[in-house]
Every structure is written in structure tokens, then in C-alpha cells.
Amino acid sequence: MHIHAYEKLWLALSIVLILALIGTVTYGAVGPGVAMVADSQSTIDAGGIDEDERFSEPRVEQVGENEYEAYVVAYQFGFEPTPIVVPANSTVTLQVTSRDVIHGFEVAGTSANTMVVPGEVSEITVETDEPTEYGIVCNEYCGAGHHVMEGKLHVVSQSEFENRGGDSE
Amino acid sequence: MGQNEAVHAGTEDGGGDAEEFDPIGTLTLIGIYFVILVLAWVYIYFVEFLGRDLVIVG
């Protein structure tokens, strides 16, 4: 079978393109360590959040050397705690759950974004850089007040974080 | 290019060694599409996605 040289060329280019797409995604996973939101947490009782040791009192907690965990509850229509205060240059694991309906948790302008499902705990780990302030929006329609549902994520310096008593209000 | 196609239209394309048919316009278009795709992908993935804050790492 005769295949024109040009056709061979663009067949080869399309294979190169496919390999490059797979290659860049592989690089992202291996190099910068980009991960997906996994189903790593066991389910909880969405109606019994008040008795849950993590979510009865939404807060930020130090769990290791420069490692923090934030327990966040989404509800109609807001997030607790507000603001979520975390220290700069640290590793922060956000555990987010809902006590009513499905919500979204998107730190606006960043890659931190997950669904929040009642009874499930969405866990995402991010690394903070310099002190700054982010907004958090709900990106799953959750009811009449969906458009006003927002939160705040404040990345503060280590010293300011300690002055706050290592906890967010 | 249109002329070449007209010549081929009446003949059987069995031998493969027919007259020269070089669709340079098609090749150029595919080349341009390829460059656009590669540049768009580099921008979307490396600049817009990996360049943002708070990349999920776990």
C-alpha cells in the first residue's frame, strides 16, 4: 500500500501529539506531584456531625512538623470556619464535609477544588506559599442562597498564626 | 492542487505511481493546527494549571 509522504508525516505528528499529552500529565504526577481528589476517607453520618470529633468543632490543627489539618463544614449557605486560617510555607490537608446537601469547595483562582458530599469527607492536601487571602466559593448549585455562599482562606505568617493560638476563630 | 485532482478523477488509482500529488496547502494547514495545539497545551497545562497556587498534592 502506498502512503503519501505527507500523510506519513501527519500520522507521525499525531502520534507525537498523543505521546506528548500523556507525557506532560505523567510529568505533572511525578514532578510537581499533582494528585487527584481520592475516595480515601471513610463515610460519616451527615446528620451526626455535631458528635463527630473532627467536624463538631470546625478548626485548623497542627498534626506534624509544618503540617496542618483543617476540618471544614460546608452548609447552606457558608463554610465553617470562616476564615480558615493556615500558616504560610506549610502543608495543609483540608478535610471538607457537608451537613446538608452537596456543595462545592473551590479556593478561587487556585487548583484547590473539590465536591463536598454529605456523609463523605473530601480530602485535599495543598502547599501554601506566601501570606495571602483567598476566597472560597461553592460551585455546586445548593439552593436559593447558592450565589452568596462563600468562605475565606487566609494564609498568614507563621508568627501571626501562633499569635492566634494556632486556631482559627 | 485542484488541477491535479481533476486529472486523477478520470483514472484508476491502482498503481500508486501516478502523477505527483503534493497537497502542500493541506500540509501547511495541518502544520499550523499542530503548532496551535502544542502552544495551547503548553499554556493550559504548564502556565494556567501548574502555575496556579495550591496545587493538590495529596
Give every CB contact of residue B28 below 8 A, 6+ residues apart in sequence.
Answer: none
As for the ipTM of the complex, it is 0.73
Domain boundaries, chain A: 1-34, 46-163
**Distance in angstroms (rounded) separating the CA atoms of residues A59 and A5:** 64
Say yes or no to pLDDT of A93 above 70. Answer: yes
The verdict on residue B30 lying in a domain is yes
Region B1-28: what's the mean pLDDT? Answer: 62
Say yes or no to pLDDT of A167 above 70. Answer: no
Query: What CATH fold (topology level) applies to the domain A46-163?
Result: Immunoglobulin-like (2.60.40)
Region A88-111: what's the mean pLDDT? Answer: 93
Task: Give the pLDDT band of residue B10 (cuts 50, 70, 90).
Answer: very low
The verdict on residue B16 lying in a domain is no
Contact A106, A122 (CB under 8 A): no
Task: Give the pLDDT band of residue A46 (cuts 50, 70, 90).
Answer: confident
Question: Structurally, how many domains does chain B consist of?
Answer: 1
Task: Give the pLDDT band of residue B18 (cuts 50, 70, 90).
Answer: low
Task: Look over chain A and give the mean of its residue pLDDT values, rounded to a whole number.
Answer: 90
Looking at chain B from residue 1 to 58, which residues have their Cβ under 8 Å from any Cβ of chain A? 16-17, 21-23, 26-27, 30, 34, 37-38, 41, 45-46, 49-50, 52-58
Contact A130, A154 (CB under 8 A): no
| Residue A154, amino acid | H
CB contact under 8 Å between A112 and B58, yes or no, is no
**Distance in angstroms (rounded) separating the CA atoms of residues A114 and B42:** 24
Q: Which residues of A104-135 are buried (b: 16+ CB within 10 A; e: fewer)?
A: bbbbeebbbbbbbbbebbbbbbbbbeebeebe
Task: Give the pLDDT band of residue B56 (cuts 50, 70, 90).
Answer: confident
A4 touches chain B (CB under 8 A): yes
The verdict on residue B4 lying in a domain is no
